[in-house]
């Protein structure tokens, strides 16, 4: 084929990118990114993620240039712009990666229709997950509802071939290139001061460091809140700066099965979302909850002023870094949806506003899992925030990192500040609820 377009979405990498690898086989390749006007104006375009994405796009452009290509940039409707570019350069095919949110699938359907009309071939590739949704299904079902059998089936599925980065690219001549805009042209709000930096180069640096120093100790250390010993690759996976397949194979080689299992969780939630597009909005397993509408409770949670140090530290971490440790995410999500009995969707939206790795399948899937409306086989368990702190931050190092107002407390006092002698002098609230009472009330509401 003479010319092919590759339309990037959230697969912003050169290495092991099946869509790019296929487009690079054409005589000329037009790599395209379209700033989707419909998303930019919406709450989906959280500043931390847009900033991360922009850095990733700069990095991608640089990488493409090194191979003799470049990134063509447009703003508007991705379908219209991709087809227009194909027309302009006489491309015979558009290559894209499959994605799984309701929005992404609608976009793909529209693109398919527009390509048919334009007589351009549309080729949809895997690459966003390790195992594509639907590739393994249980007998008599379209997706797995429980993780363990999914993990078993997933572990045995034949994997696709990996790809290197294209060595040499030739772009079509006389095409308007377009420019990557400044961040201020894309967002109005501010970003978190300590957020992660985007890009394949940065992602690969982290990946190498984790595979060298982190994956071996992961089974013992992944829940250590202060140790911060997880890969911190979630935003790079979210924007495709790192290939999940490549990461998984490299971890497997180093006997990193516990880590590989976490990557499987990522695929698990994607196959749930693919089968249940309403996952971000509707209870997967309705429990007839009549959620509290307490604004005071929700705001205290948001601001990290619940009086439970682990919950509050975690919420401040989210604000400061656009990231939160998984153990902390589970604790704050349980606290909001079970102790405060506030609708999990409110919590998911707040995460969505701040997380650099904020991603529909994993955010909605995990929130529903913790709230007990999703795939957890023990939907009514309530995490005790003090017990979680005792186990995963016993000396309060994580809490002190994010709650300077608790600095005067000594030793175990930090687990229950309200019992400490100098509590009245601290700028720190009393617990907003009594955990044991709130947990009992929650169970009564669920009728268990």
Where on the chain is the footprint of ligand FAD (CB under 6 A)?
A: 222, 230-234, 237-238, 262-263, 265-266, 269, 325-326, 329-330, 333, 351, 355, 357-359, 362-363, 366-367, 370
Q: What pairs with residue 32 in β-bridges?
A: 7, 72
Least gap, CB of 438 to ligand FAD (angstroms)? 18
- The torsion region of residue 386 among left (phi > 0), alpha (psi -120 to 50) and beta comes to alpha
Strand partners, 33: 8, 73
Nearer to ligand FAD (CB atom), residue 133 or residue 358: 358
Cβ at position 330, least distance to ligand FAD in Å: 4
- What is the C-alpha separation between 99 and 106, in angstroms, rounded? 10
Give the nearer residue to ligand FAD in terms of CB position, either 125 or 238: 238
- In the bound state with ligand FAD, the residue whose beta carbon lies nearer, of 3 and 375, is 375
The DSSP output letter for 140 is: T
C-alpha pair distances (Å), 288 with each of 83, 291, 444: 46, 9, 13
CB of 269 to ligand FAD, least distance (A): 5
- Of 29 and 231, nearer to ligand FAD (C-beta) is 231
The minimum distance between CB 268 and ligand FAD, in angstroms, equals 7
Smallest distance from ligand FAD to CB 260, Å: 9
Q: Which residues pair with 122 in a beta bridge?
A: 94
> Nearest distance from residue 173's CB to ligand FAD, in Å?
40
- 367 versus 428: smaller Cβ distance to ligand FAD: 367
Q: What dihedral do alpha carbons 37, 190, 347, 225 form, nearest 10°?
A: 130
The three-class DSSP label of residue 95 is: strand
Closest among 335, 350, 337, 347 to 292, alpha carbons compared: 337
Residue 130 CB, shortest distance to ligand FAD, in Å, is: 10
Return the exposure string of 397-430: e unless at least 16 CB atoms fall within 10 Å of the residue's CB, then b.
Answer: ebbbbbbeebeebeeebbbbbeebeeeeebebee
| Consecutive H or E run containing 78 | helix 78-89
Strands, DSSP E only, in 92-154?
A: 93-97, 121-125
Cβ-based nearer residue to ligand FAD, 83 or 264: 264
Task: Fill in the DSSP letter of residue 119.
Answer: T
Q: How many CB atoms lie within 10 A of CB 123?
A: 15
Q: In whole angstroms, how close is the CB of 325 to ligand FAD at the nearest point?
A: 6
171 vs 383 by CB, closer to ligand FAD: 383
Return d(Cα 82, Cα 70) in angstroms, integer.
16
**In the bound complex, what is the minimum distance in angstroms from residue 262's beta carbon to ligand FAD?**
4
**Nearer Cβ to ligand FAD, position 36 or 357?**
357
Residues 6+ apart with CB under 8 A from 357: 234, 235, 237, 238, 323
Whichever of 64 and 241 has its CB closer to ligand FAD, that residue is 241
């Amino acid at each position: 084929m003479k010319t092919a377009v590759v339309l990037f979405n959230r697969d912003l990498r050169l290495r092991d990118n099946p869509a790019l690898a296929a487009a690079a086989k054409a005589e000329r390749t037009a790599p395209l990114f379209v700033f989707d006007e419909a998303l930019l104006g919406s709450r989906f375009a959280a500043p931390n993620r847009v900033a991360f994405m922009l850095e990733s796009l700069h990095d991608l452009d640089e990488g493409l240039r090194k191979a003799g290509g470049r990134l063509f940039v447009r703003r508007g409707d991705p379908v219209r712009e991709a087809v227009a570019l194909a027309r302009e350069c006489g491309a015979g095919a558009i290559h894209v990666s499959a994605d799984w949110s309701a929005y992404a699938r609608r976009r793909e359907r529209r693109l398919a229709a527009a390509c048919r009309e334009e007589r351009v071939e549309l080729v949809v590739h895997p690459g966003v997950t390790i195992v594509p949704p639907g590739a393994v299904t249980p007998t008599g079902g379209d997706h797995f509802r429980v993780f363990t059998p999914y993990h078993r089936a997933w572990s045995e599925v034949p994997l696709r071939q990996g790809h290197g980065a294209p060595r040499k690219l030739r772009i079509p001549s006389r095409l308007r290139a377009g420019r990557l805009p400044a961040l201020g042209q894309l967002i109005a709000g501010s970003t978190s001061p300590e957020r992660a930096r985007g890009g394949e180069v940065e992602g690969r640096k982290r990946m190498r460091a984790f595979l060298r120093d982190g994956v071996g100790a992961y089974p013992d250390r992944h829940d250590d809140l202060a140790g911060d010993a997880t890969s911190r690759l979630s935003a790079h996976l979210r924007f495709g700066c790192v290939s999940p397949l490549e990461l998984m194979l490299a971890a497997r080689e180093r006997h990193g099965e516990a880590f590989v299992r976490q990557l499987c969780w990522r695929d698990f939630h994607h196959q749930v979302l693919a089968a249940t597009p309403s996952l971000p909005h509707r209870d997967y397993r309705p429990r007839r909850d009549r959620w509290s509408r307490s604004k005071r409770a929700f705001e205290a949670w948001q601001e990290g002023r619940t009086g439970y140090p682990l919950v509050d530290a975690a919420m401040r971490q989210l604000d400061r870094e656009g990231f939160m440790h998984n153990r902390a995410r589970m604790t704050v999500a349980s606290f909001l949806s079970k102790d405060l009995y506030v609708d999990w969707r409110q919590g998911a939206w707040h995460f969505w506003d701040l997380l650099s790795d904020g991603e529909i399948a994993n955010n909605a899937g995990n929130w529903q899992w913790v709230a007990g409306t999703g795939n957890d086989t023990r939907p009514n368990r309530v995490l005790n925030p003090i017990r979680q702190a005792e186990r995963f931050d016993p000396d309060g190092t994580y809490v002190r990192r994010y709650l300077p107002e608790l600095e005067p407390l000594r030793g175990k006092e930090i687990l229950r500040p309200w019992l400490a002698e100098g509590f009245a002098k601290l700028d720190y609230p009393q617990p907003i609820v009594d955990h044991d009472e709130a947990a009992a009330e929650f169970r009564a509401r669920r009728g268990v």
